[in-house]
Amino acid sequence: MKKTVLTLQKRKQSKQKITMLTAYDYTTAKLMDDSGVDCLLVGDSLGMVMLGYDTTVSVTMDDMIHHSKAVARAAKSALVVTDLPFMSYHASVYDAVYNAGRLIKEGHAHVVKLEGGRAFSEHIKMITQASIPVIAHIGLMPQSVLALGGFKVQGKDYQNAKNIILDALAVEQAGAIAILLECVPAPLATLISELVSVPTIGIGAGVGCDGQVLVYQDMLAMYDGVSSKFTKAFAPVGEQMKTAFKAYCDDVINHQFPAPIHEFTIDEHIMQNLRQ
Ligand code: KIV
Ligand code: NA
């Protein structure tokens, strides 16, 4: 059955967890959709895991649309959520609505996500007004890495924690359909999940959130960048891929591949004529 924004709301009410994984290409998205993952997030993390940048700040709207389209073609049941990249909504509310529209119309996303709390209430309100569902991403906001000076857990002291609560309440008020909480202490994320009526989806935010998200290269141990405390390797796929790549090279070098079963034949008479 096709999942919608209503599915997420119902899950919160019935206390059934929401599952989300990042996806950036057709093949992987199809495997996830077939596995019953509720939401496929075309995250701007694609700048790091797919394009090899150190941070997400260089990711463009065209990058996001390119990957979003591929994921959307695979999503028969899952809800496709696509990130608004850095500077696609910061300069004005107009930019926010215009670029959210592009992710829907050109990227075939069902929902857009942006990083920001109270400071982006108006943007969230106007995107919602345009009938585009928005998820607000608060806590650690990786697009702010230049201003933050690095990636670290947010909301450890009273004022910082209070600010994250105020951000959550503000984005709910502005119309966000869900709140993504990144890298905040688990008890704070649990409290926020109780305070808001929309679902929370956590990454590095503990078990008290209404749903969870992971970057798929992290959960399959494929990415060679720094891995965080909050990720879990569900299968050593990175190692398995390396084993397969090496086996392929060995077979080619040792004339084991291709074998006769992989070859096409031709009538020997034709070959004899060709050799003359
Ligand atoms: O871009 C991304 O993958 C994300 C998740 C880490 C939530 O925003
Ligand atoms: Na992101």
Q: Report the distance separating Cα 68 and Cα 73, nearest Å.
A: 9
Domain parsing of the chain, residue ranges:
5-235, 240-275
- CB of 180 shorter than 6 A to ligand 1: yes
230: its two tokens: 């909050």
CA–chain centroid gap for 84, Å, is: 11
pLDDT at 226 over 80: no
Cα–Cα distance measured from residue 234 to residue 225, given in angstroms and rounded to the nearest whole number: 17
Question: Which is the catalytic residue, given 106, 122, 172, 182?
Answer: 182
The fold of 5-235 is TIM Barrel (3.20.20)
Cβ–Cβ under 8 Å, residues 82 and 45: no
pLDDT score, position 37? 98
Ranges of beta strands (E only) in the chain are 18-22, 39-42, 79-83, 111-115, 134-139, 178-182, 200-203, 211-214
Residue with structure tokens 């397969």?
244
Is residue 182 flagged as an active site residue? yes
164 or 224: whose pLDDT is higher? Answer: 164
Task: Report the pLDDT value the prediction gives residue 1, as an integer from 0 to 100.
Answer: 86
Q: What's the average model confidence in pLDDT over 232-253? A: 97
CA distances from 166 to 159, 173, 192, 214, 258 (A): 10, 10, 10, 25, 62
pLDDT digits (tens, 9 = 90+) for 60-74: 999 999 999 999 999
